[in-house]
């Protein structure tokens, strides 16, 4: 708020005004200036009067001459005293002037001399305060009344005394008012100048801060550009690393699963019976290898996993079966440490929607942790159910967890301190991943422990009995609420892998799939989905009309689909199998090509893979003649010598890769029509379709509300990768 001159107000009684004036102005300086001028004029006037008396008025009383000389002397004394008592000398001067005026009137005794008393009052108004002026007026009145008669001759001086007093009082008030106005404007000017100075200083600071911020912003933008380029380079390296690690892990697990499957399900392929004592062990190897295969398929597919978001595929599952499978897998590990293992499950557990692979992994992680930190005693696996959730807990009698570390056990790479935990190793990722899986299911996970060795710890998690709406990962404080309405989306595509893609990464909706064009309309009528997702290549004209008629609230979204099947078909392949490849998957791929196949050529640089795939084909119902080639060059040579009916081809080979082999086959008129089945550790989408091109269109019969439109665009924009700025 800006001050104005009237804000600086001076009001109140006259004494207060004088006091305030003394504080606002140096009133003593003003009176001192007047005092010196009056004293000087009085001295000069007395001196001139003395000269006149001596020179021209020789008949005047000699006492009057001495009175003038005495007055001049007093003027000198007062001038000298003014240096030591400047505040009192004006009062002393007025007193002396009044006394000498009274003495002069007594010497001359003329009523005209009494007018000098009014002059004293006028001088007093300039040098002293009102009380002094009033005192002079009263004393003058008393003097006139005492030594002069109050008649028509003295009436004039008497009246003039009080008129002078009144005029002096009024003029002094006017002067005070004028000084008051002047002072207020002066204070206002000082205040505005001070504010202007402060604002100028603040503006200078803001200018400096703005320049500094601009410099910081330029530096931040440069750092962001560098970080973005670095992140893009890291993303490419990550994708390359994922492809390499995927190949290195999928190939050996394929051999483990493949051979254990052959031994467990088709031992006749080896020409001899498997001893019965081996069967349980082989079954255990096959079961655990299959579980490991499922985990590798999910975890190593990094190109399709977003940051802090792992895919889960929910399906109606009996949790008791999942818990028993995990207990069976972990049982041998627990027994190897001579620990007791107890499983307590209710006789009837309700069926719930969950990802059985993820939940089984969570239980295995909890059991593995319990085994690591327990040297003796018992490990207990329990489950119970109430009205809303299923609770699963794993208890042990190990070393326990100190209270101050309970809040950190779910941090990535964190391990409980102590030599015991170091001795038992571990990466510190098991509990962090497990908690993320549980949060994605809408549940929660926690650990209870007293930190006392021998009493161990209990780790528990819950799963909602009804499907839930939940918040993203890394938000353990969220609250899950049962979804009262099932929000379905219907995916229509002729590639089953597309359905799995949407099921794995759709977080807020229940995904249903349809590959049959004849059943899509029926599915829309039954499910009444929020949206139908159709591939750009699918014929949607009839579907649009059906949606408008049956479910106008349903949106139709047409977009390109990253289909590995269509990608391999586009380059002339019959099929693309991703390692680990099961026996049944290979036989199904051959059957899909035709039933008249006889000669099969398998091309791979790994002799173990060649032997495993050969075993697969030797146990098929249809009799195949199998030839093998170790490498791309050897495969092309065998093809030209004895063209096969079908080629089973690896992609990553050291001499000539699979795509080069396919190019040579297409260029050879004798080989170009031979069907090719690719078997590789790299997925079809990963190896062939790095991205999909095309338009995404959304249409709905009833239209879109503004808030829906903004929400759709915002959700779409927030999930798009930032465009890469080319380096200059």
385 inside domain: yes
User: What residue numbers bound the domain in which 710 lies?
Assistant: 488-561+697-718
Same domain, 336 and 475: yes
Structure confidence at residue 439 (pLDDT)? 86
Q: Tell me which of 479, 506, 529 is where a domain ends.
A: 479
Three-class SS of 80-115: HHCCCCCCCHHHHHHHHHHHHHHHHHHHHCCHHHHH
Per the CB < 8 A criterion, the answer to whether 567 and 542 are in contact is no
683 inside domain: yes
State the total domains in the chain: 4
Please provide the average confidence, as pLDDT, over all residues in the chain: 76
Measured in degrees and rounded to the nearest 5, phi and psi for residue 394 equal -125, 120
Q: Tell me which of 130, 158, 186 is where a domain ends.
A: 186
Sheet of 510-514, strand order: 510-514, 488-492, 531-535, 555-559, 697-699
Residue 22 makes CB contacts below 8 A (sequence gap 6+) with 28
175 inside domain: yes
195 inside domain: no
Structure confidence at residue 475 (pLDDT)? 43
Structure confidence at residue 30 (pLDDT)? 65
Same domain, 58 and 172: yes
Q: Which two tokens stand for residue 467?
A: 């499907």
Which 3 state secondary structure label does DSSP give 321?
helix
217 inside domain: no
CA 663 to CA 515: how far, in whole Å?
Answer: 32
Per the CB < 8 A criterion, the answer to whether 426 and 415 are in contact is yes
Same domain, 387 and 535: no
Same domain, 325 and 470: yes
* Rg of the chain, C-alpha, whole Å: 54
Query: pLDDT below 50 — which residues of the chain?
Result: 1, 8-24, 301-309, 418-427, 469-485, 690, 725-728
Same domain, 24 and 74: yes
Same domain, 351 and 466: yes
Q: Tell me which of 445, 461, 479 is where a domain ends.
A: 479
Same domain, 551 and 636: no
CA 524 to CA 181: how far, in whole Å?
Answer: 87
CA 141 to CA 695: how far, in whole Å?
Answer: 113
Same domain, 23 and 153: yes
Same domain, 493 and 467: no
Residue-wise burial string across 269-299, b where 16 or more C-beta atoms lie within 10 A, e elsewhere: beeeeeeeeeeeebebbbebbbbbbbbbbbb
Per the CB < 8 A criterion, the answer to whether 471 and 414 are in contact is no
Residue-wise burial string across 318-329, b where 16 or more C-beta atoms lie within 10 A, e elsewhere: ebbebbebbbeb
Structure confidence at residue 146 (pLDDT)? 78
Structure confidence at residue 721 (pLDDT)? 61
CATH number of the domain where residue 402 is located: 3.30.565.10
294 inside domain: no
Same domain, 539 and 573: no
Residues paired with 628 in a beta bridge: 602
CATH number of the domain where residue 602 is located: 3.40.50.2300
Same domain, 400 and 538: no
Same domain, 538 and 645: no
635 inside domain: yes
Per the CB < 8 A criterion, the answer to whether 609 and 577 are in contact is no
305 inside domain: no
């Amino acid at each position: 708020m800006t001050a104005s001159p009237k804000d600086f107000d001076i009001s109140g009684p006259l004494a207060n005004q004088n006091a305030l004036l003394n504080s606002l102005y140096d009133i003593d300086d003003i009176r001192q200036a007047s005092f010196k001028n009056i004293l000087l004029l009085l001295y000069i006037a007395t001196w001139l009067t003395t000269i006149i008396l001596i020179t021209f008025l020789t008949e005047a009383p000699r006492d009057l001459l001495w009175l003038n000389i005495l007055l001049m002397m007093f003027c000198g004394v007062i001038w000298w005293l003014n240096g030591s008592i400047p505040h009192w000398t004006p009062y002393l001067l007025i007193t002396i002037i009044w006394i000498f005026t009274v003495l002069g009137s007594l010497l001359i005794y003329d009523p005209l001399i009494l007018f000098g008393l009014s002059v004293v009052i006028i001088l007093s108004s300039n040098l002293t305060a009102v009380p002094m002026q009033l005192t002079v007026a009263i004393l003058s009145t008393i003097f006139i009344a005492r030594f002069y008669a109050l008649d028509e001759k003295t009436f004039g001086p008497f009246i003039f005394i009080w008129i002078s007093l009144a005029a002096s009082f009024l003029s002094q008030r006017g002067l005070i008012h004028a000084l008051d106005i002047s002072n207020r404007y002066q204070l206002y000017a000082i205040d505005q100048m001070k504010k202007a100075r402060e604002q100028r200083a603040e503006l200078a600071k803001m200018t400096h801060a703005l320049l500094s911020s601009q410099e910081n912003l330029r530096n931040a933008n440069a750092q962001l550009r560098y970080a973005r380029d670095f992140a893009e380079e890291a993303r490419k390296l990550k994708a390359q690393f994922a492809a390499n690690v995927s190949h290195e892990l999928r190939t050996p697990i394929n051999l483990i699963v493949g051979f254990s499957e052959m031994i467990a399900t088709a031992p006749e392929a080896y020409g001899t019976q498997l001893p019965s004592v081996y069967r349980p062990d082989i079954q255990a190897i096959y079961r655990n290898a299959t579980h490991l295969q499922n985990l590798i398929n999910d975890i190593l597919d990094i190109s399709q996993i977003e940051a802090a978001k792992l895919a889960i595929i929910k399906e109606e599952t009996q949790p008791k079966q999942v818990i028993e499978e995990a207990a069976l897998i972990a049982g041998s590990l627990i027994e190897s440490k001579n620990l007791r293992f107890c499983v307590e499950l209710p006789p009837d557990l309700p069926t719930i929607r969950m990802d059985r692979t993820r939940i089984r992994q969570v239980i295995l992680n909890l059991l593995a942790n319990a085994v690591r930190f327990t040297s003796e005693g018992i490990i207990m696996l329990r489950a119970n159910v109430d009205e809303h959730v299923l609770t699963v807990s794993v208890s042990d009698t190990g070393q326990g967890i100190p209270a101050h570390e309970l809040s950190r056990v779910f941090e990535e790479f964190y391990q409980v301190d102590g030599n015991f935990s170091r001795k038992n190793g571990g990466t510190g990722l098991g509990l962090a991943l497990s908690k993320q899986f549980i949060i994605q299911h809408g549940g929660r996970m926690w650990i209870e422990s007293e930190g006392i060795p021998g009493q161990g710890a209990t780790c528990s998690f819950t799963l909602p009995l009804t499907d839930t709406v939940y918040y993203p990962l890394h938000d353990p404080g969220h609250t899950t609420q049962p979804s009262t309405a099932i929000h379905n989306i219907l995916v229509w595509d002729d590639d089953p892998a597309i359905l799995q893609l949407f099921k794995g990464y759709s977080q807020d909706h229940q995904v249903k799939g349809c590959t049959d064009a004849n059943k899509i309309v029926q599915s829309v009528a039954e499910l009444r989905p929020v949206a139908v997702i159709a591939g750009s290549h699918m014929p949607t004209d009839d579907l649009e009309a059906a949606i408008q008629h049956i479910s106008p609230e349903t949106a139709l979204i047409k977009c390109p689909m990253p289909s590995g099947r269509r990608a391999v078909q586009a380059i002339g392949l019959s099929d693309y199998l991703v390692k680990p490849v099961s026996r049944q998957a290979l036989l199904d791929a051959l059957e899909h090509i035709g039933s008249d196949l006889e000669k099969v050529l398998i091309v791979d640089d790994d002799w173990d893979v060649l032997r495993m795939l050969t075993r697969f084909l030797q146990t098929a119902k249809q009799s195949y003649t199998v030839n093998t080639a170790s490498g791309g060059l050897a495969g092309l040579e065998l093809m030209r010598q004895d063209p096969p009916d079908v080629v089973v081809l690896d992609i990553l080979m050291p001499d000539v890769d699979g795509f080069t082999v396919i190019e040579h086959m297409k260029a050879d008129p004798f080989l170009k029509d031979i069907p090719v089945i690719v078997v590789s550790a790299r997925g079809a989408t990963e190896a062939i379709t790095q991205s999909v091109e095309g338009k995404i269109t959304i249409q709905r019969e009833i239209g879109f509300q503004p808030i829906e439109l903004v929400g759709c665009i915002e959700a779409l924009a927030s999930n798009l990768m930032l465009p890469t700025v080319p380096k200059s």
